[in-house]
Structure 1
Amino acid sequence: MNILYINNVMDVGGVEKCIIKLSKLMRANNKIVVATVGGKLEKELDLLNIKHYNLLNTDSKSPYTILKNLKIINKIIKEEKIDLVHSHHRMTTLYCKLLSKINNFKLIHTQHLCIEDKIRLTKLTLKNIPVITVSNSAKENLVMKYGLSKSNIKTIYNTIETTNNDYEIDKQLKNLNDKDMFTIAHISRLVDYKGIYDYLEIAKQISKKDTNIRFVIIGSGPEEENIKNYIKNNNLQEHIFLLGNKSNIINQLKYINLVLLCSYIEGLPLVPIESFSQGVPVIGTNIGGTNEEVIHGKNGYLVDTKDINGFIEKIMFIYENKDVYDEMKENSLEVYNEKFNEEQYYIKHIEFYSSILTK
């Protein structure tokens, strides 16, 4: 099978990590090529000897850019003799849907978020296209808000890469570990909808208590400078540490005690899965996707969005009850192995691909 994975970018993010994982799993028995605008994770494809094609800005409404992208994708499909296109972005799916009218290939779309925008575009793009959703909440969202057929949608939970050959641990993180601090992490792109300012407020309030709790932020993004200013203006330099992007999150997690996920919207975030694989519990917001990963009271807790006091209460309960924390660590590994393991992810994708190709 010749497969084209296509997306808007190849930056450091959950969607891009899924493309890397699929490429790794599928390349043994299939020909894999990837097309995106490009980004930092292109180097991961290079290491896998997977060809990457560059697109122009997929968000552009310029007729020239749209026509140019259609021409680039059409050339890839013909030259690489593509049987199946697996798209991870609405615009790239629309491009490929148009091209499927003149080419003999099958098209699949993965919906990674519980979206609420661009209703007409989404309906136009995804109607009659086989769709994978990363959570049941994302599936219900497409059915209820966009009127898509449930029979055309299959949920496949994400998995993650559990090994990384980069063993370099952030010096600040290692220092906190050496001092026996209880380290709580926020790991995401630094954007508002990830609840980063809620995390900062939680850290600010807990910093007033006499505890060994410290907070680290892993990631980068448009809010980075504002976060630096917040930490400085509130004199939190000894309590909150901005560590930047890390390509080896799995290894960093070995030095982290607890992860917070304060997001307002998700699909099926990878951070909890990565955390559980290393026995790290998660306190997250009770939103679609996250509430299919975090089992309240077992491998973490669920809290209402923007409930600062709710987060603080659960953090302090875990911090002050080591027996509860230790049990949650064991449960986290158990949930990972039961629901999010690599083998299930691979088998379910192969089965879905085969069902589409044989129709």
Structure 2
Amino acid sequence: MRRWQPVDGGFPGTDGNRGKHTLRIVQFMASEGYGGAEKVFIELSNALAAEYEVIALLLRNAIISGRFSPQVRQVVLHSNPTSNNPLLHLELYSRLKELAPDLIHTHAAKGTTLVARVNRLLGLPHLGTKHNDRRGRIFNHLRWVSAVSEKSARSVVAARGAEVRVIHNGVAAEDPGPEEKDKAFTIVAVGRLDAIKGFDILIDQVAALPFDFRLKIIGEGPEKARLEQQIRNRKLSEKVVLEGFRDDIPRLMRRAHLVVISSHQEGGPKVMIESLFHADMLIATPVGAVPEVLPDRFQARQEELAAKISQVYFEYDRYREDFAAVAAKRRPDFSLPEIVEKYRDFYRHILGQKGQSGG
């Protein structure tokens, strides 16, 4: 079976049908949901499509299927998406063999594991992105890994000769325009309604706040019913609202007084990065890339959230001014064009490894 080899004088993908030096990149994330990592996957695919031929490989019933630009070709895997389904592996192998990409870029552990298994027979250059610092042993066996934070990178026990690069998540610097603040002190939390996000703890913490407030939790997920019951039990129905899925996060951040990340674990939280561009103030638990980006005064452990939110409320102008200075300094590091260029550079490096197959 033919294994990938670099082409002298340029990158692969130089046949007449694909245009001179146009790379064919397959992006794959084995997810049916929609959250921060999925948003990164979509935005990166859309941005890369301006230069490369990008194919987004999707699971059946993936709700993100309608969010790609017209320049991104979408290919659906129709097999049952369980990790050990042999039919899924066979379909994935057949699709990748048919597509013959110059490089496959996988996101998160499940998709990376699936591709690594079938790639033993294909030998395609394979870059896997680790989106958190949880155990993900598959990344220990890849030759090329990107991690969304220094902490995520440290969680990879790289094999001999492997390369791990930190490439943060990025944000397109859209301008939703000026927004009036909500009348009550408004707190916004964004994320999939999953236990790891700590929204139950946040609800308990805001119940102790000594001032009028509104908490808007944006997202959908398996914890919704339990959180709704918690809100009723706490008699917070007039103060805490589960807003469901929204696609106007920048606008909601601008209308709010404060964004809070209450997670138990994160990688390179998209909400933190979006807050640098759109929020007046952010506090976050010290998870994932948060300590790499935010000074200590904008961090709080979960059990300290009520105290920190109160401190922000009573010293709001000073906190807002200080956060604006931090955001202005860090925004350039997380602009989407900057992040896309880092991935392009890694792709060029991978494809320039002459005479060596991917893994």
Task: Provide the rounded CA distance (Å) in 2 between the counterparts of 1:55 and 1:269.
Answer: 30
Q: How does 1:165-180 map to 2 (within 5 A)?
A: 177-178=181-182, 180=183
Moved more, 102-111 or 73-82: 73-82
Choose the corresponding residue for 1:20, options 28, 42, 51: 42
Task: Provide the rounded CA distance (Å) in 2 between the counterparts of 1:194 and 1:205.
Answer: 20
TM-score after normalising by structure 2:
0.84
Note closer, same or farther for the CA distance 1:138–1:18 as it changes in structure 2 (3 Å cut).
same
Note closer, same or farther for the CA distance 1:48–1:182 as it changes in structure 2 (3 Å cut).
farther
Choose the corresponding residue for 1:182, options 180, 185, 191: 185
Note closer, same or farther for the CA distance 1:49–1:131 as it changes in structure 2 (3 Å cut).
closer
Could you report, residue by residue, the CA deviation over 1:202-240 in whole angstroms, capped at 9, with x for unpaired residues?
Answer: 11111xx2x232211111111111111111122111211
CA RMSD of superposed structures (Å): 2.4
| Residues 173 and 335, structure 2, Cα contact 8 Å, conserved in 1 | no
Counterpart code for 2:261? L
Gaps (5+ residues) in structure 1?
Answer: none
**1:11 and 2:33 matched:** yes
Note closer, same or farther for the CA distance 1:237–1:98 as it changes in structure 2 (3 Å cut).
closer
Choose the corresponding residue for 1:350, options 344, 352, 356: 344
Task: Provide the rounded CA distance (Å) in 1 between the counterparts of 2:96 and 2:43.
Answer: 22
Tell me the residue number matched to 1:133.
147
Counterpart code for 2:309? I
Tell me the residue number matched to 1:321.
315
Secondary structure of the corresponding residue to residue 303 of structure 1: coil
**1:197 and 2:200 matched:** yes
Counterpart code for 1:69? L
| Residues 77 and 88, structure 2, Cα contact 8 Å, conserved in 1 | no
Tell me the residue number matched to 1:52.
75
Task: Provide the rounded CA distance (Å) in 1 between the counterparts of 2:71 and 2:309.
Answer: 40
**1:32 and 2:54 matched:** yes
| Residues 132 and 155, structure 1, Cα contact 8 Å, conserved in 2 | yes
Q: Which has the higher contact order (CA 8 A, sep 6+)?
A: 2
Secondary structure of the corresponding residue to residue 267 of structure 2: coil
Counterpart code for 1:131? V
Q: How does 1:50-199 map to 2 (within 5 A)?
A: 50-61=73-84, 65-66=85-86, 68-116=87-135, 122-123=137-138, 126-143=140-157, 148=159, 152-163=163-174, 177-178=181-182, 180-199=183-202
Secondary structure of the corresponding residue to residue 100 of structure 1: helix
Gaps (5+ residues) in structure 2?
Answer: 1-22, 354-359
Task: Provide the rounded CA distance (Å) in 2 between the counterparts of 1:150 and 1:237.
Answer: 55
| Residues 156 and 345, structure 1, Cα contact 8 Å, conserved in 2 | yes
Note closer, same or farther for the CA distance 1:332–1:79 as it changes in structure 2 (3 Å cut).
same
Give the C-alpha shift of residue 128 in structure 1. Answer: 3.9
Counterpart code for 1:191? D
